[in-house]
Structure 1
Amino acid sequence: MKSITAKKQRVFGLDVVRALAILLILCSHSTILIFPESQSTLIKIIQFLGTIGVDLFFVLSGFLIGGILIKQIEAKQTKFKNFTQFWMRRWLRTLPNYYLVLLINIGLLFVFNTEVPKQLYKYFFFLQNFSNKQADFFTESWSLTIEEFAYLIGPILLFVLGLIFKKSGKWLFLAVTLLVISSAIFHRFIFDVSITNSPHHFSWSKSLRKVLVYRLDSIYYGFLAAFIAYYYAMAWKRYKWISFGLGVVLFVGVHVYIFINSLNPDHFSTFFNVYYLSIVSISILLTFPMFSNWRSTLRFQKVVTNISLWSYSIYLVNYSIILLSIKHYVVISDLSALSKLGVLGLYWSATFVVSYLLFSFFEYPIIKFRDSARFKGWFAN
């Protein structure tokens, strides 16, 4: 397998999804930095689009990883050794950056003389938001726990069920995908039934949207997209624009419905608790036939590709390290409009510079090792 920077190994449309997702998140965090108390409709829309950026990452991750697992199944590589190799490759891609940034965040607690959160050890095992809301520390890590467990649970279920039924194939992959999706929806239903006992200061986002057991399905909608793209490739390509249109209509339609009915997730709405997150993921899934078939040689392709490559580093450093450090030293509310613009420029430039350095001198060398013959030789026998 070639390096992730090899152009012919990349799909431009999927790079667009990554770049769009991280830019939406950065724009959302920019409003938190500059307009933390604003109730402006425009600011709220930008912050909302930031949450959609995370959902884009979820479905995209599931689509890519689901495709890898399908290829393993089709190649009859379903022994535990094969899944171990899959996990090792994923962990070398995600864990080094995560633990480095986690340690930096812990260091900043002492630099800023901030209280150390209780049960800090959970962050080292991706348990900080397993079934309850996580502490207000390294807050962006909530999505990484969901991804790590999604990558762990799927192969385990494929392996165990493969042993039970003595065969692995596309229908077992589909069954595992639907099982995980159903399980997450069921957990959200149980949450909704019990929500009446919640305290007045309940936060839907912290208590449900960012909790692992309620969100595993968000990755597996990507698995579902990978299943359709691989086994029904002609239809996936032929109906890409129809599917894209349906996705846009579904996404816009559900949010028009929310606006017309003045629905609010913090008011214990069953619609939000049980259905909303699935609808958003499905609407994103429907756009993927278009994105996954989008090839381009446009001038800005290199910019899109670079942002895509740096997106994981950007996601890890932009908030807890860059934004909160700026807020610690600068009282934003005391600044003039021009000074705020300068702070915003500092936030964006610092984020991209630090992310570039993190990717170039830490993340990418580890990825090169992962793709090396030496690493592959560990699993040759």
Structure 2
Amino acid sequence: MQPPTFSRLLGLDCLRALAISLVLVSHITFLLFPDSTSTLIDGFRILGAIGVDLFFVLSGYLIGGILLKIINTDDLKWSALFKFWKRRWLRTLPNYFLVLCLNIIVAFLVGILIPKELFQYSLFIQNFSWGHPDFFTEAWSLSIEEYAYLLLPFLIFFLIISFKNKNKPFLFLLSTVIVIMVLTGLKLSYNFNASVENYHDWSLSFRKVVIYRMDSIYYGFIAVFFMKKFPTYFEYNKNIFLIAGLVVFAVLHVIIYVFNLLPQSHLWFYVLVYLQMVAFSLMLLFPYFLHLRRTIFGKKIVEFISTRSYAIYLVNYSLVLLNIELLVNLKVLGPIEKTLIVLLFLFVTTVVSNVIYLYFERPILKLRDRRFPR
């Protein structure tokens, strides 16, 4: 028996394509302007962080939606949670370990030192409560996602199974709020005890650390809860939410620029306000994108980028960009040569990602759907 097929949602493809495009634009600046630290270039580089935040919120929205469907079954059992985890692991782990192995092989070939913390990558603890090692740096976000998939779903199932015949959606929301509050307590501890000298220090010791960032995914749980509860309201006001999200995002960064808010001088802002407001502004975009109905120009390209986005994210920086920087002295190249390097970067990233998707990721997903159907 063949597993049922599911049609793709254009809005989700657009959000995934947007997220990975922001990451690529950010990384391209390191090829075009290797020595530049101007405000404009720094702004483009921050887009990569925004792209990852969009992936986080989108992941939370999708996972939260799946959990809402699961918990509404009449006789909820722990086996449903185990099946959820198995589907998640078959979605995320194979690509992760494949690219980790490729990074190790390339490191041996080019003479890069393998970090002593390598064993931690197998348990996703290399950045659990400390900075991520300088190896396969994209892995920091995967650690956050894997632990986010464990913590809150377990609490949701525990509360619902423990309090039978109670309001399941309410317990879903309550669990989410409780976990976010606990994680905020950890952020407060960081704020009062940490000392950073620049954005890089803050990013390494806070933005890319599991225990401080899981809430970025859980904001997606809140978004899906309210959008499922009040679907007509959000569809009717989708354009207003879109404008509001763009305004919030723009105003937030204008305030940072005008008042020169830096992590070393306004740590509280970057710990307790900035990332939360970024996630909130991104959430406001969802009603518009998720209610896209008409075909857009370049739909096939958007779908291509979306389906390969996970592979693109894993390979574009450590496997492709860093090795280009290792082989080519970008500082001596002119504009034409740098443009060609960028095209090479995009071409190699696309080819490698496409091969991984077609001959590794997609077959595993088909196997997953046969073994553990929705």
Is TM (by shorter chain) over 0.5?
A: yes
Alignment of 1:173-322 (within 5 A): 173-196=172-195, 203-322=201-320
State the shift of 1:299 in Å.
3.8
State how 1:58-69 maps to structure 2 within 5 Å.
Answer: 58-69=56-67
1:1-381 to structure 2, matched below 5 A, reads: 2-3=4-5, 6=6, 9-76=7-74, 78-167=76-165, 169-196=168-195, 203-372=201-370, 374-376=371-373
Deviation at 1:16, TM superposition (A): 0.8
Q: Judge conservation of contact 1:129–1:212 (CA < 8 Å) in 2.
A: yes
Alpha-carbon distance in structure 2 between the residues aligned to 1:24 and 1:258: 20
155-164 vs 221-230, which deviates more? 155-164
Is this contact kept in 2: 1:202–1:266, CA < 8 A? no
Hey, what's the Cα distance between the residues in 2 that align with 1:283 and 1:116?
39
The question of whether the paired residues in 1 share the 8 Å contact of 2:199 and 2:263 is answered with: no
Asked whether the 8 Å contact 1:180–1:216 carries over to 2, the reply is no
Deviates more, 1:156-165 or 1:118-127: 156-165
**1:263 alignment partner, SS class:** coil
> Greater shift after overlay, 308-317 or 111-120?
111-120
Q: Is the 8 A contact 2:198 2:262 kept in 1?
A: no
Unaligned runs of 5+ in 2: none
User: Contact between 1:154 and 1:176, CA under 8 Å: does it hold in 2?
Assistant: yes
Q: Distance in 1 between matches of 2:200 and 2:283?
A: 30
| Offset, 1:254 | 1.3
Deviation at 1:337, TM superposition (A): 2.0
Pick closer, same or farther for the CA change 1:369–1:230 going to 2, 3 Å.
same
- TM-score, reference length from structure 2: 0.95
Return the alpha-carbon distance in structure 2 between the equivalents of residues 279 and 155 of structure 1: 24
Question: CA distance change for structure 1 residues 268 and 133 in 2, over 3 Å: closer, same or farther?
Answer: farther
For 1:334, the aligned partner's letter is: V
In 1, Cα distance between equivalents of 2:298 and 2:48: 23
Distance verdict in 2 for CA 1:239–1:82, change over 3 Å: same
Q: Which amino acid is 1:123 matched to?
A: Y
Provide, for residues 329-371 of structure 1, a one-character-per-residue CA deviation record: whole Å limited to 9, x for no partner: 1111122222111111100010011111110000000111111
Asked if the contact 1:195/1:268 (under 8 Å) is kept, the reply is no
What is the identity, as a one-letter code, of the residue corresponding to 2:159? L
Query: Partner letter of residue 130 of structure 1?
Result: F
Report the secondary structure of 1:371's partner residue. helix
Contact 2:197-2:263 within 8 A present in 1 as well: no
The C-alpha deviation readout for 1:76-101, integer Å capped at 9, x for no partner, is: 36311001111111111110000000
Question: d(CA) in 1 for partners of 2:136 and 2:266?
Answer: 27
Change in 2 beyond 3 A, CA 1:375/1:70: closer
Change (3 A) 1:289 1:202: closer
Q: Provide the secondary structure at the position in 2 that maps to 1:265.
A: coil
Alpha carbons 2:78, 2:157 under 8 Å: kept: yes
Q: Report deviation, 1:245.
A: 1.9
Q: Within 1, Cα distance between the matches of 2:92 and 2:369?
A: 14
- Counterpart Cα distance in 2 of 1:2 and 1:46: 41
Give aligned-pair identity as a percent.
Answer: 45
1:62 is aligned with what amino acid?
Answer: G
What is the distance in 1 between the residues matched to 2:228 and 2:86? 24
Q: 2: CA distance between counterparts of 1:171 and 1:333?
A: 56
For the residue of structure 1 that corresponds to 2:138, the secondary structure is: helix
Contact 1:26–1:50 (CA under 8 A) maintained in structure 2: yes
* 1:267 alignment partner, SS class: coil
In structure 2, give the amino acid aligned to 1:226. V
| The 10-residue stretch of structure 1 (73-82 or 286-295) with the greater mean CA deviation from structure 2 | 73-82
Question: Which letter maps to 1:176?
Answer: S
Give 1:202 shift. Answer: 7.0
Query: Number of paired residues?
Result: 371
Q: Is the 8 A contact 1:192 1:268 kept in 2?
A: no
Distance 1:357 1:106, change over 3 A: same
Task: Please give the alpha-carbon distance, in whole angstroms, between the structure 1 residues aligned to 2:15 and 2:77.
Answer: 33
Q: RMSD over aligned Cα, in angstroms?
A: 1.8
Contact 1:19 1:304 in 2 (8 A): yes
- Letter aligned with residue 173 of structure 2: L
* Separation (CA, whole Å) in 2 of partners of 1:202 and 1:116: 22
Per mean C-alpha deviation after superposition, the further-off stretch among 341-350 and 242-251 is 242-251
TM-score by length of 1: 0.93
Which stretch of structure 1 is more off in the superposition, 182-191 or 274-283?
182-191
Deviation of the 1:375 alpha carbon? 4.0
The residue type paired with residue 343 of structure 2 is G
Deviations along 1:189-238, one digit per CA (max 9) or x if unpaired, are 11001124x67897111111110111011001111111011111111212
1:19 alignment partner AA: A
Q: Does structure 2 conserve the Cα–Cα contact (< 8 Å) formed by 1:31 and 1:43?
A: yes
